[in-house]
């Protein structure tokens, strides 16, 4: 039979075993708690990274300019020269400019067509040029004074001819809103613009501005004349105007001007040899207001 001493020793050993088990259970609990906390932290970090990546602004794709759709509609007047109208639909918008040379019997007129601002007008002009529509046609009108332009593009030479189709106005003609500035800002020396017979009646006639001209912004601007072309225009203007029905400052140029062809290859913008400037005319009273370019 165990003695009291032995019983106390056995009880002590049992207590020690119980305490050891409890300590081991506590260590396991702490380890599990740490593992769970680590898992939670990792999950939170991963979730935060995912949210940050998803919430960052996405880089936007480069904006692609929308191609303007052109409508070339039959006009009441038949074509003055056989020609096929351009196809309706989106107009090319690149490259933004197109160099061409209007070759006349009085000298070349290099111009840069502005496809970015007037894509439909540029498309029509290039189509007519490719079909030789302008070849062997006269520039039928020269004006002086407040309106200083040479007008061309009518195969009949009368100012009433056209390609048998019409299309809508473009820059700077307002579309349903007031124009913010005056026309004098748009039709400065070197401007290439369309003549018309009213809103949205553009056809083949165009005018070349050789001096700043005051006009309402009702005529599509579709290009700019290079310096060598201005030299040619100055020579034609210096020759004067043959009086017409509209008065002494509006009629056929005294120096006849015929378009030989329109060269679609890049224009040579090198300036020609300098020519002596024509003598300045004596001062004259300002001419009366002149009618704006008209045509089809």
Q: What are phi and psi of 191, to 5 degrees?
A: -80, 140
pLDDT category at 174 given cuts 50, 70, 90 is: confident
Helix (H) or strand (E) holding 89: strand 89-90
Band of residue 46 on the pLDDT scale cut at 50, 70, 90: low
Architecture of domain 70-263: Beta Barrel (2.40)
Domain ranges within the chain, ordered by starting residue: 12-53, 70-263
pLDDT, tens digit, 9 for 90 and up, residues 74-88: 999 999 999 999 999
Contacts of 193 (CB under 8 A, 6+ apart): 186, 187, 206, 207, 209, 219, 220, 221, 222, 293
Q: Within 10 A of 172 (CB to CB), how many other CB atoms are there?
A: 20
Residue 188 has pLDDT above 90, yes or no: yes
Q: How far apart are the first and last CA of the chain?
A: 135
Exposed, middle or buried: residue 117 (CB in 10 Å: 0-12, 13-18, 19+)?
Answer: middle
The contacts of residue 186 (CB under 8 Å, 6+ apart) are 172, 193, 215, 217, 221
């Amino acid at each position: 039979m165990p003695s009291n001493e032995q019983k106390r020793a056995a009880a002590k050993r049992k207590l020690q075993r119980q305490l050891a088990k409890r300590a081991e259970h506590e260590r396991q609990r702490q380890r599990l708690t740490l593992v769970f906390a680590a898992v939670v932290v990792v999950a939170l970090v991963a979730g935060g990274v995912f949210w940050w990546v998803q919430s960052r602004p996405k880089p936007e794709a480069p904006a692609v300019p929308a191609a303007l759709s052109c409508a070339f509609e039959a006009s009441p007047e038949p074509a003055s020269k056989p020609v096929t109208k351009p196809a309706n639909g989106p107009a090319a918008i690149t490259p933004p400019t197109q160099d061409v040379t209007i070759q006349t019997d009085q000298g070349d007129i290099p111009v840069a067509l502005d496809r970015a601002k007037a894509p439909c007008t540029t498309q029509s002009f290039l189509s007519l040029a490719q079909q030789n529509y302008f070849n062997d046609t006269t520039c039928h009108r020269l004006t002086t004074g407040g309106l200083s332009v040479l007008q061309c593009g009518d195969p009949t030479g009368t100012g009433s001819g056209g390609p048998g189709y019409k299309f809508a106005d473009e820059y700077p003609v307002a579309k349903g809103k007031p124009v913010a500035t005056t026309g004098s800002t748009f039709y400065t020396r070197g401007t290439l613009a369309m003549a018309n017979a009213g809103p949205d009646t553009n056809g083949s006639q165009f005018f070349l501005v050789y001096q700043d001209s005051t006009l309402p912004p009702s005529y599509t601007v579709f290009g700019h004349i290079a310096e060598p072309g201005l030299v040619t225009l100055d020579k034609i203007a210096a020759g004067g105007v043959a009086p017409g029905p509209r008065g002494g400052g509006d009629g056929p140029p005294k120096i006849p001007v015929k378009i030989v062809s329109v060269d679609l290859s890049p224009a040579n913008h090198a300036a020609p040899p300098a020519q002596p400037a024509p003598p300045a005319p004596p001062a004259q009273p300002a001419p009366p207001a002149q009618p704006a370019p008209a045509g089809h």
